[in-house]
Amino acid sequence: MRKITILLLMTALSFSACTPTLALTSPNVNTDTLAESAPAAEPDGVSLLPTAEVALNPYSLEALASRTYGQGELRVEYAWQEKTEFTRYYITYDSDGLNIHGYVNIPKGKGPFPVVIALHGYIPAEEYETLDYSTRYADSIARKGYIVLHPNLRNFPPSDSPGRVCDYMSGYTVDVMNLLTYVRQAAGTKGSIFENADLNRMGIWGHSLGGGVALRVLNLVPEIKAAVLYGAVSQRYINNSDGVKVYDLSATEAAFSVHHGGEDEVIAPEWSQKLCAQLEEAGREHECYFYEDQPHTFIASGEADPLFIQRVVDFYDQYVKE
């Protein structure tokens, strides 16, 4: 555990020190939400409003909102595991020319079912597994009647790895946006595993790196009604030299549930304390919990982890399911 913690910390520091150097681009579409269907000129993708001839930093929220998503396909490879309350399916999908892996938990019974995106944190590539620590959290949500989408973000095997760049988590954000777009395209389609997906009732869950990605996705998907941020990377890129707005708390209507271990040696608890103050200032609905003696990833056999899980489910039931 100590070895992993040190690796995590070294990685966090390396990400914070670098500066992107990609050239600016001029996107040709713009919007702040996912479209229901693609325009006639782009039948295979979901595009987002008309032309904006403005040079945008490619990592900015505006550039991410202006992109076209869902231009490849999502493949349900096989039914992976049968559980009492849900079925786990192994999926792969296209994202920026990469093959992204992951799984989807589909509740049993009659839908429609609300949807939660679960985003894992950083783990060294040689140690990462698809059914890693975040699985227990994804499964606990699925057992309560939620479809859970769990991608292995790029650079985490067996997903493709283009190499790590300082893009303010934009590549990971694109992976999530592509996944959501494919699910939206399939929702309501008879015979699809997403036939009963209700994308008007959505939540997002993110730990560490995944929490930072969740903050970016929130500004791109207004249907997300509730965000759980667990030991999240919330402050790293706020004052970046490129002037990129990483996220905008005032531009989302989502409710927030913030959780952090008091003994976190990877992401300082002060980051979540500051985030809670920012949420208060922005007038966002929020709750904040700090768990004494808990590390970056809570000890599964202790009392804090089950309490955290129960709080998460209660939060989604209040803000997403109803």
- 8 lies in some domain: no
289, pLDDT greater than 60: yes
- 155 lies in some domain: yes
- 214 lies in some domain: yes
Cβ pair 26, 67 in contact under 8 A: no
pLDDT top residue among 45 and 194: 194
Q: Picking from 178-187, 230-239, 301-310, which range would have the lowest pLDDT averaged per residue?
A: 230-239
**What pLDDT score was predicted for residue 163?**
80
32, pLDDT greater than 50: no
DSSP 79: E
- 237 lies in some domain: yes
**What pLDDT score was predicted for residue 168?**
85
Cα(232)–Cα(207) distance, integer angstroms:
6
- 77 lies in some domain: yes
Cα(118)–Cα(126) distance, integer angstroms:
21
For the chain, how many structural domains are there in total?
1
75, pLDDT greater than 50: yes
183, pLDDT greater than 60: yes
pLDDT top residue among 28 and 310: 310
Residue 12 pLDDT class (50, 70, 90 cuts): very low
Cα(75)–Cα(206) distance, integer angstroms:
24
- 15 lies in some domain: no
- 33 lies in some domain: no
Domain coverage including residue 304 = 73-321
- Is the pTM value of this prediction over 0.85? no
Residue 322 pLDDT class (50, 70, 90 cuts): confident
31, pLDDT greater than 70: no
**What pLDDT score was predicted for residue 169?**
92
End-to-end CA distance of the chain: 39
CATH code, domain carrying 232? 3.40.50.1820
On average, the pLDDT of the chain sits at 85
- 207 lies in some domain: yes
Annotate 105-145 with DSSP letters as a single string. Answer: EEESSS--EEEEEEE-----TTT--TT-TTHHHHHHHHTTT
